[in-house]
Amino acid sequence: MEKIFFELFESSKFAFKSLKSNLLRTLLSLLGVSIGIFSIVAIYSAIDALNETVMSSMNKFGQNTLYITKFSFMGQSNVPRWKRKNFPFPTINEYKFLQKNLSRDEVKAVTFRIFMPATKLTVPGGETVSGAELIADGAEFPKIQELEFESGRFFNKAEEESASPVVILGADLKQALFDNQPALKKTIRVYGKKLKIIGVLKKEGSSIGPSNDGKAFISSSFARTIVAPHKSFTAIIVAPKPMADVKKLTDQIIVLLRQKRKLKPSEIDNFFVNNINTVKDQVEKLTSVLRMGGGFLALFSLLIGAFGIANIMFVSVKERTNQIGIQKALGAKNSFILWQFLFEAMFLSIIGGMIGIMLVWGGTVIVSHLSDSIHIVLTLKNIILGLFISSVIGIIAGLWPAWKAARLNPVEAIRTGM
C-alpha cells in the first residue's frame, strides 16, 4: 500500500512540474473547462435560487391550504372550457355555510376573499397612491398567512361582521402616503369612502412572489359595500390543521358545497377545490425540467473543455516521448506513466473547475449587491457538483492519452524523441 501511495505521489509531482513548465498552454487549456463549469454551476445556482424564492413565497400560505373558486389552479380539467366559464364564483353565504359546518377539529381557519381591482388610496389633503393592491379578506386571514406588524393589528371578527371601515397598510404604501410620519389611527380614502388605519405591516422586502409591502387589507364585508361581489373574483380559503386529513376535508367541502348549491347527483361540481401543495409540486417539476435543460446546454461547453484538454494531453505525450522512454528504461512502470498523465489532465480540469466556481461566486456577490429581489447563493451542493464534474471530465479527457503514453515501447520512444 505504501508503495502505491509513493507511486501516486511521484506521478502527481511530475504532472504538476509539467503544467508549471508550460504555463501559457496550461492557462489556455483551463479556459474551456472554466467556461463549462461556470455555465453549469451558474445555471443550477440560479434555478435553485428561483425555486427557493418561489417556494418560500408560497409557504407563506401554509401547507395544503385549499382555495375554493370557479377556476382550476392547474389550468387543466375534464370539464369543457365553456362550462367552466359559466361556473359561479363562491358567495358570502356559501362561505358562512362552510364556516359553520366544517369540523373545527380539522380546520384552522376559513376566510372569504374578494380580489379587488387596483385602486387609488388618498390621504385627505395629502398624498395619493395610484394602482394600489387592495385585498379584501376575512378576520381569520392571519391564521392562514402569518403577518408581522410594525404597529397596530388586523381587524377582528366583530369588525368583519359589522363591515367596519378599517384598513391595514403594507410598509411601502404607508411610506408613500405618510413618509416617516405615524400612520396608525389616521384616515385614508378608498373609492370615496373613509377608512381608519388600524395596522401597519413590517417591511418584507421585494421578492419573486407575493409581498405584502404594496398591499392594503380591508374586510370582505366592507368590500361588498363598495364593489358588487357577483362581478368580482372571489374565493373561499380553508386552512387545515397540521395533522388534518386533507383528502377527507376536501371531500367534506365538496359534499357541503354541492348541498348548498343544490346540485343533483348527475350534475358535475361547478367549482374547484385547489390545494396549494399541488401548485408547489408543479413548481418542483418545472424546476427539475429547467435543471435538465440547463445541464444539457452546459454540457456542450464541458465537451469543448474536454476536447481541449484531450488535445493538449496528446500534444504533451508527443513532446515528452523521449522523456517517457528514458523513464521506462530506468524502470518506471506503465502505471507510473499512466498516473502521471492522468493526474496532469485531472489537475487541469479541477483547476479550471475551481476558476469557474470562483467566477460564479463573484457573479452571485455582484447580483446580490445590485438587486434586493434576487438572492442567488452558491451552495455547497453546487460547489461539490462542479468539482465532481470537472474531475470526471479530466479523467475522461486524459484517459486515452495517458494509456497511449503508458503503452509506449521505451526503445522506440527514445529513438522517436531523438
Q: Provide the percentage of residues in the chain whose pLDDT is more than 90.
A: 9
pLDDT, the chain, mean: 79
Q: Provide the percentage of residues in the chain whose pLDDT is more than 70.
A: 80
Lowest mean pLDDT among 214-223, 286-295, 341-350, 406-415: 406-415
pLDDT at 2 over 70: no
Please give the model's pTM, rounded to 2 decimal places.
Answer: 0.66
What is the structure's pLDDT at 56? 67
Same domain for 171 and 293, yes or no, is: no
**Band of the pLDDT at 319, cuts 50, 70, 90?**
low
Same domain for 148 and 183, yes or no, is: yes
**Band of the pLDDT at 6, cuts 50, 70, 90?**
very low
pLDDT: which is higher, 54 or 270: 270
Q: How many domains does the chain have?
A: 2
Task: Tell me if 76 is assigned to some domain.
Answer: no
Rounded to the nearest 10°, the torsion over CA 257, 261, 267, 269 is -40
Same domain for 401 and 299, yes or no, is: yes
Task: Tell me if 317 is assigned to some domain.
Answer: yes
Same domain for 102 and 194, yes or no, is: yes
Residue by residue, DSSP assigns 23-91 as HHHHHHHHHHHHHHHHHHHHHHHHHHHHHHHHHHHHHTT-TT-EEEESS-TTS--SS-HHHHHTPPPP-
Same domain for 251 and 287, yes or no, is: no
Task: Tell me if 80 is assigned to some domain.
Answer: no
Rounded to whole angstroms, the Cα distance separating 136 from 147 reads: 15
Rounded to whole angstroms, the Cα distance separating 303 from 110 reads: 55
- Give the β-pairing of 107-115 and 119-122: unpaired
Task: Tell me if 64 is assigned to some domain.
Answer: no
pLDDT: which is higher, 16 or 102: 102
Task: Tell me if 240 is assigned to some domain.
Answer: yes
Residues 6+ apart with CB under 8 A from 326: 410, 414
Cα 414-417-418 angle, rounded to 5 deg:
85
pLDDT at 88 over 90: no
Task: Tell me if 218 is assigned to some domain.
Answer: yes
Same domain for 117 and 262, yes or no, is: yes
What is the structure's pLDDT at 166? 93
Same domain for 249 and 118, yes or no, is: yes
Measured between alpha carbons, how far is residue 65 from residues 160, 273, 277, 417 in Å?
A: 22, 10, 8, 75
pLDDT at 168 over 90: yes
User: What are the grid coordinates assigned to 306, written together?
Assistant: 474536454
pLDDT at 29 over 70: no
Same domain for 347 and 376, yes or no, is: yes
Among the candidates 270, 291, 306, a domain finishes at: 270
Average pLDDT over residues 54-78: 73
Average pLDDT over residues 83-100: 86
Find which of 190-194, 331-335, 361-365, 406-410 is predicted with most confidence, using mean pLDDT: 190-194
Rounded to whole angstroms, the Cα distance separating 69 from 142 reads: 20
Same domain for 308 and 373, yes or no, is: yes
Residues 6+ apart with CB under 8 A from 182: 151
What is the structure's pLDDT at 217? 93
Average pLDDT over residues 370-375: 64
Among the candidates 215, 241, 270, a domain finishes at: 270
pLDDT by residue (tens digit) across 257-290? 999 998 888 888 888 888 887 777 777 787 778 7
Give the CA diameter of the chain: 102
**Band of the pLDDT at 127, cuts 50, 70, 90?**
confident
Rounded to whole angstroms, the Cα distance separating 221 from 225 reads: 7
What is the structure's pLDDT at 256? 92
Task: Tell me if 198 is assigned to some domain.
Answer: yes
pLDDT at 13 over 60: no
Rounded to whole angstroms, the Cα distance separating 96 from 19 reads: 76
Same domain for 38 and 121, yes or no, is: no
Same domain for 156 and 259, yes or no, is: yes
Among the candidates 217, 244, 270, a domain finishes at: 270
**Band of the pLDDT at 11, cuts 50, 70, 90?**
very low
pLDDT by residue (tens digit) across 174-214? 988 888 888 888 899 888 889 999 999 988 765 555 578 88
Residue-number span of the structural domain to which 256 is assigned: 88-270
What is the structure's pLDDT at 211? 75
Task: Tell me if 158 is assigned to some domain.
Answer: yes
**Band of the pLDDT at 169, cuts 50, 70, 90?**
very high
Same domain for 94 and 242, yes or no, is: yes
